[in-house]
Amino acid sequence: MSKVRFAIPELRDLVRINEIYRKYHQDSFGLPSLDRSVTGGVAKLDDKIVAFGMVTTLIESILVLDLGESTRVKIEAIKVLMDRAIADSQEQGFGWMHMFVQDPHFAQILKKHYKAQVCSGEALVISLENHNG
């Protein structure tokens, strides 16, 4: 029976991590910079790295818009807030900003005016409050 164990990654592990990424995942998602890593690890079978995982900071833009305002006011509000969110995020060195949009019309606005893209895969969230692993 195999026994996979957790280990803290070492600098020399980057070669194997990149090998796995290029072979299986590079067409599916980008690997974020390690500078944005909060924590990370490798899964090893004997001494062979079989997986790499990391927790990163995720920049998310959140807008709470008064839907009772005129279209013009809503558009201007979105513009000033999004422009500032983008500028601040770029200034902090982030390359991506996420938005989890509930309104399809609002999603279209972000796609048209800010070149927002649909993320591939399924957005999932785990509540850590009562999670015991």
Contact assessment for residue 114 and residue 106, using Cβ atoms and an 8 Å cutoff:
no
Check residue 18 and give its pLDDT. Answer: 95
Domain that holds residue 27: 4-56
Considering its fold, how many domains does the chain have in total?
A: 2
Cα separation of 36 and 58, whole Å? 9
Tell me, yes or no, whether 76 and 99 share the same domain.
Answer: yes
Helix axis angle for 71-91 and 104-114, nearest 10°, is 60
Tell me, yes or no, whether 73 and 19 share the same domain.
Answer: no
Cα separation of 34 and 13, whole Å? 13
Check residue 133 and give its pLDDT. Answer: 63
Contact assessment for residue 81 and residue 113, using Cβ atoms and an 8 Å cutoff:
no
Residue 1 has pLDDT above 80, yes or no: no
Tell me, yes or no, whether 49 and 65 share the same domain.
Answer: no
Cα separation of 86 and 92, whole Å? 10
Tell me, yes or no, whether 109 and 78 share the same domain.
Answer: yes
127 pLDDT tier (thresholds 50, 70, 90): confident
Tell me, yes or no, whether 71 and 9 share the same domain.
Answer: no
Tell me, yes or no, whether 49 and 113 share the same domain.
Answer: no
Indicate the residue among 18, 37, 56 that finishes a domain.
Answer: 56
pTM: 0.74
Portion of the chain with pLDDT greater than 90, in percent? 66
Cα separation of 38 and 55, whole Å? 5
| Section 24-35 average pLDDT | 85
Contact assessment for residue 10 and residue 20, using Cβ atoms and an 8 Å cutoff:
no
- From residue 95, give the alpha-carbon distance in Å to each of 2, 64, 80: 39, 23, 20
pLDDT in tens, 66-86: 999 999 999 999 999 999 999
